[in-house]
Structure 1
Amino acid sequence: MTIRNAAFLASAAILAASTPAAAQDAGPETGPAGPPLPSETVFDGDFLSIGVGAGFGPSYTGSDDYVVFPLPIVQASYKGIDINPRPAGLAIDFIPDADEGVSFDLGVAGRLRSDRADQIEDETVELYGELDRAVEVGPTAGISVPGVLNRFDSVTVSVDALFDVAGAHGGMTVSPSVSYFTPLSRGVAASIGASATFVDDDYADYYFSVPQAATIGPDPRLLPAFDAEGGLQSIGVNALVAVDLNGDITDGGLSLVAIGGYSRLMGDAKDTPFTSVVGSADQFLVGAGIGYTF
Structure 2
Amino acid sequence: MSIRAVVLALSASALIGSAALAADVYTPDTTEVAIVNNADLIIELGAGVSTQPAYEGADDYIVSGFPIVDLQYLSIPGLFDIGSPDEQQGGLRIGPSFRFIDKRNAADYPELLGTLPLDDSYQIGLRAGYEFPVYETLNIEVYGAARYAFNEGEGFVGDAGFDLISRPTPDLEFKLGPRTSFADSDYMDTYFAVKPIEALGSFGGLRAYDTSGGFKSVGVAASARYEFRPDWFLNANAAWDRLVGDAADSPIAEVGSENQFFAGIGLSRRFNFDLF
Distance 2:129 2:202 in 1: 48
Distance 1:120 1:59 in 2: 13
**Shift in Å, 1:103:** 2.5
Distance 2:107 2:92 in 1: 39
Match of 2:91 among 103, 122, 127: 103
Distance 2:106 2:75 in 1: 39
**Shift in Å, 1:79:** 5.0
- Deviation track 1:107-150 (CA, whole Å, cap 9, x = no partner) reads 7x4535425457985223264233244454555543221x3121
- Equivalent position amino acid for 1:67 in 2: I
**Shift in Å, 1:180:** 2.2
**Shift in Å, 1:267:** 0.8
- Which has the larger share of strand? 2
The change in CA–CA distance for 1:42 and 1:260 in structure 2 (over 3 A counts) is farther
**Shift in Å, 1:47:** 3.7
The change in CA–CA distance for 1:116 and 1:283 in structure 2 (over 3 A counts) is same
Distance 1:66 1:104 in 2: 35
Matched, 1:280 2:264: no
- Deviation track 1:228-276 (CA, whole Å, cap 9, x = no partner) reads 1222110111112222224xxxx413x3233221111101111111111
Q: How does 1:37-186 map to 2 (within 5 A)?
A: 38=29, 40=33, 43-44=36-37, 45=39, 46-76=41-71, 79-80=74-75, 95-97=81-83, 103-105=91-93, 109=96, 111=98, 113-117=100-104, 121-125=108-112, 127-138=114-125, 140-145=127-132, 147-150=133-136, 152-164=137-149, 166=150, 168-186=152-170
Matched, 1:252 2:252: no
Distance 1:238 1:53 in 2: 17
- Equivalent position amino acid for 1:111 in 2: F
Distance 1:99 1:49 in 2: 12
TM-score scaled by structure 2?
A: 0.72
Distance 2:35 2:50 in 1: 28
Long gaps (5+) in structure 2: 1-10, 19-24, 272-276
Matched, 1:188 2:177: no
What is the identity percentage for the equivalent residue pairs of Structure 1 and Structure 2?
26
What CA RMSD, in Å, does the superposition of the two structures yield over aligned residues? Answer: 3.6
- Equivalent position amino acid for 1:192 in 2: L
- Deviation track 1:5-49 (CA, whole Å, cap 9, x = no partner) reads xxxxx9xx99xx9xxxxxxxxxxxxxxxx8986551664323443
The change in CA–CA distance for 1:210 and 1:290 in structure 2 (over 3 A counts) is same
Q: How does 1:214-293 map to 2 (within 5 A)?
A: 214=197, 218-220=201-203, 222-246=205-229, 251-253=230-232, 255-276=233-254, 278-293=255-270
Distance 1:199 1:185 in 2: 38
- Equivalent position amino acid for 1:289 in 2: G
Long gaps (5+) in structure 1: 1-9, 18-33, 82-93
SS in 1 for 2:182: strand
SS in 2 for 1:72: strand
Retained in 1: the 8 A contact 2:138–2:167? Answer: yes
Greater Cα shift, 47-56 or 132-141: 132-141
Retained in 2: the 8 A contact 1:112–1:133? Answer: no
Distance 1:157 1:179 in 2: 7
SS in 2 for 1:280: coil
Retained in 2: the 8 A contact 1:56–1:286? Answer: yes
SS in 2 for 1:61: coil
**Shift in Å, 1:188:** 2.4
Greater Cα shift, 223-232 or 136-145: 136-145
- Which has the larger share of helix? 2
Distance 2:176 2:236 in 1: 12
The change in CA–CA distance for 1:270 and 1:48 in structure 2 (over 3 A counts) is same
**Shift in Å, 1:75:** 3.2
